[in-house]
Amino acid sequence: MLFTGKFSKEDLKKNKKRFYFIGGLMLLLGLISLSMPLLASFAVETIVGLLLIAVAFSQGWSAFRGFSDGGKPWQETIMAIAAMAAGFIFLIHPVAGVMTLSIILAAYFMADGVTKIIEYFRIREIEGSIWILVSGLLGVILSVMMWKNLFTGAAVIGIIFGINLVFSGISLILLGRGCSKASGDC
């Protein structure tokens, strides 16, 4: 529904449950992350390391198949080695992984915030959409905070990730409420 232009009452009815569910889930995960920021930071870092290793195996298998078929998939081979090395670095040196994630999350929060600000102007007639704007502005502010405090410790990721999840969750719940009112299901 969002980013597609016009929306009808049927679209609002269909998507409000999704807004409530995803918003509630994001709110819960945000509160957990805020209550245990160090654990959240290192959990995110470990998951990223494991995903990089999984990508490396996938690309390695693809390169192996390419060589078996008579091709020369050197680019896939190099990317598999790079992904494997990055994954192992994340798992073996978690502080370096957390610092790398700080940079990546800062970029993500900036992109997420700008996208939400743009989306607000498309859906501003729905009650509760102001919270999408607030969430977007908060994402931009958090991004700037991450860039300024890049080396303040591993807890920054968990705290900022938790704050972003809490506000995103609340904004989606309130948008779902606005969809209920707009569709006449109050």
Spell out the alpha helix ranges (H) of the chain: 9-35, 37-68, 74-92, 94-123, 130-148, 155-183
Q: Is the pTM of this model over 0.85?
A: no
CA 95, 140, 48, 157 torsion-angle sign: positive
- What residues contact residue 137 under an 8 Å CB cut-off, 6+ apart? 113, 117
Q: Which two tokens stand for residue 70?
A: 């008579």
Copy the structure tokens of residue 71: 């091709």
> Hey, which of 4-18, 47-61, 118-132, 155-169 has the most confident mean pLDDT?
47-61
Is 60 exceeded by the pLDDT of residue 2?
no
- pLDDT tens sequence across 68-97: 888 888 888 899 999 999 999 999 998 888
Distance CA 122, CA 3 (A): 8
pLDDT tens digits, 105-159: 788 889 999 999 999 998 888 888 899 999 999 989 888 887 877 655 566 778 8
**DSSP assignment letter at 185:** -
pLDDT tens for 150-184 read 655 566 778 878 888 999 999 888 888 877 776 66
The answer to whether the CB of 143 falls within 8 A of the CB of 170 is no
What percent of the chain is modeled with pLDDT above 70?
A: 87
